[in-house]
């Protein structure tokens, strides 16, 4: 694959991924609309349109929670990596669900406004000086705008046009959107809700996102401390034991300056490459070797393990690193070779 602009293609995995997401969304909305009326404790029944607005709103919140949990889960357990591969599709569908929620809300509450209904969303409530009754609608509007920008710029063209650094900064704003949504729900729906179930869901979701990120961060720090130990007789960094490197996968080594290196085991050989994919800065060390090439888990970009070059006709290349063995320990030269430089793999003694 290449960073050059190409049309979007869907393979069978992406189609199945999207179909499962859509089935889950429509299934959730159907169950919510059918079951929620039985929990009403009001004298005047709520309309079906309001239930649909609540269904799509809660669905979007739960989907965004799941999106933010995928990253740390994949770092804690590689079995979650398949969920990471098509996470952009998950985000676009989440944006669409949130947009449907906003459309229902505006149609229900602002269609009969004396001013334009979209202007009414921003100007109907101006009680900024109080906690109860604060214009929570603004939090939802800004969160939806962030999700729309992320969805519109999700295509590779925008990464190439904006540069990977800017593109990643834009998409890291998903955490801002999540915070705004939590405020939107807390200052809006939860203040009027008599049933505590959704309040418990919101608190549990926030704790899950924060807790998983904390656990993943602690695991990364533990790896960083282990990688910081150096050989007493050289400046090379200890990458770990040979047996700790799984076949056709890698261990990630942290260097000074936040640089990370992926040490791969392919057959009875070891090689080291930059952990950063040339496409969208994806974590190569979380990928695996397919057909002799390191394959990025984000979008499938590939690099030959010996020289960090993409197979022809593509031209991308990444930095390589030298390795050596000392007993059963793998040592890594922290000085990177120029991108595309061939480095002879080291042999694993006794490996078949």
Q: What is the pLDDT of residue 62?
A: 94
- Give pLDDT tens digits for 94-130: 999 999 999 888 887 776 666 777 666 766 666 667 6
| pTM (whole model) above 0.85 | no
Going 223 to 267 to 80 to 90, the CA torsion angle's sign is positive
Task: Assign domain 237-347 one CATH number from 3.40.50.300, 2.40.50.140, 3.40.50.1370, 2.102.10.10.
Answer: 2.102.10.10
- d(CA 276, CA 339) in angstroms, rounded, equals 12
DSSP type of residue 111: T
Q: What is the pLDDT of residue 314?
A: 83
Q: In sequence order, what are the beta bridge partners of 324?
A: 331
Helices (H), the chain: 12-35, 48-76, 81-85, 87-109, 117-123, 137-152, 156-162, 164-171, 174-187, 189-192, 197-227
Q: Based on the number of CB atoms within 10 Å of its own CB, is 350 exposed (0-12), middle (13-18) or buried (19 or more)?
A: exposed
Q: What is the pLDDT of residue 230?
A: 43
| Strand order, beta sheet including 302-304 | 288-290, 293-295, 302-304
* Cβ pair 117, 86 in contact under 8 A: no
Bond prior to 313 in cis (omega within 30° of 0): yes
* Cβ pair 286, 74 in contact under 8 A: yes
Angle at 335 between CA 322 and CA 221, to 5 degrees: 95
Which segments of the chain have a pLDDT < 70?
1-11, 37-47, 111-114, 118-120, 122-128, 130-133, 190-195, 224-234, 350-352
- Sequence-ordered strand ranges (E) for 230-316: 237-241, 250-254, 260-266, 269-274, 288-290, 293-295, 302-304
Q: Which two tokens stand for residue 151?
A: 């969805």
Residue spans per domain, the chain: 12-221, 237-347
- Give pLDDT tens digits for 143-155: 999 999 999 998 8
- d(CA 295, CA 298) in angstroms, rounded, equals 9
Q: What is the pLDDT of residue 225?
A: 67
């Amino acid at each position: 694959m290449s960073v050059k602009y190409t049309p979007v293609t869907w393979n069978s995995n992406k189609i199945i991924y999207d179909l499962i997401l859509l089935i889950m969304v429509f299934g959730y909305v159907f169950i919510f609309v059918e079951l929620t009326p039985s929990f009403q404790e009001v004298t005047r029944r709520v309309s079906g349109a309001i239930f649909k607005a609540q269904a799509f709103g809660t669905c979007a919140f739960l989907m965004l929670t799941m999106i933010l949990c995928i990253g740390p889960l994949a770092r804690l357990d590689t079995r979650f990596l398949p969920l990471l591969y098509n996470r952009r599709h998950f985000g676009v569908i989440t944006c669409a669900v949130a947009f449907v929620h906003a459309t229902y809300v505006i149609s229900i509450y602002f269609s009969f406004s004396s001013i334009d209904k979209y202007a009414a969303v921003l100007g109907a409530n101006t009680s900024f000086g109080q906690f109860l009754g604060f214009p929570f609608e603004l939090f939802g509007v800004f969160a939806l705008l962030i999700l729309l920008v992320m969805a519109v710029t999700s295509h590779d063209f925008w990464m190439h046009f904006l540069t990977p650094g800017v593109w990643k900064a834009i998409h890291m704003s998903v955490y801002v959107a999540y915070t705004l949504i939590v405020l939107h729900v807390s200052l809006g729906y939860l203040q009027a809700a008599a049933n505590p179930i959704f309040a418990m869901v919101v608190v549990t979701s926030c704790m899950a996102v924060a807790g998983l990120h904390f656990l993943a961060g602690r695991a990364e720090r533990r790896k960083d401390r282990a990688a910081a130990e150096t050989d007493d007789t050289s400046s090379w960094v200890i990458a770990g034991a040979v047996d700790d490197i799984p076949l056709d996968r890698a261990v990630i080594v942290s260097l000074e300056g936040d640089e990370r290196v992926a040490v791969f085991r392919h057959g009875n050989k070891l090689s080291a490459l930059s952990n950063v994919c040339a496409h969208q800065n994806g974590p190569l060390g979380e990928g695996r070797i397919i057909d002799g090439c390191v394959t990025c888990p984000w979008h499938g970009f590939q690099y030959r393990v010996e020289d960090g070059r993409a197979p022809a006709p593509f031209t991308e290349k990444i930095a390589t690193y030298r390795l050596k063995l000392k007993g059963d320990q793998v040592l890594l030269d922290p000085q990177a070779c120029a991108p595309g430089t061939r480095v002879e793999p080291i042999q694993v003694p006794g490996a078949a």
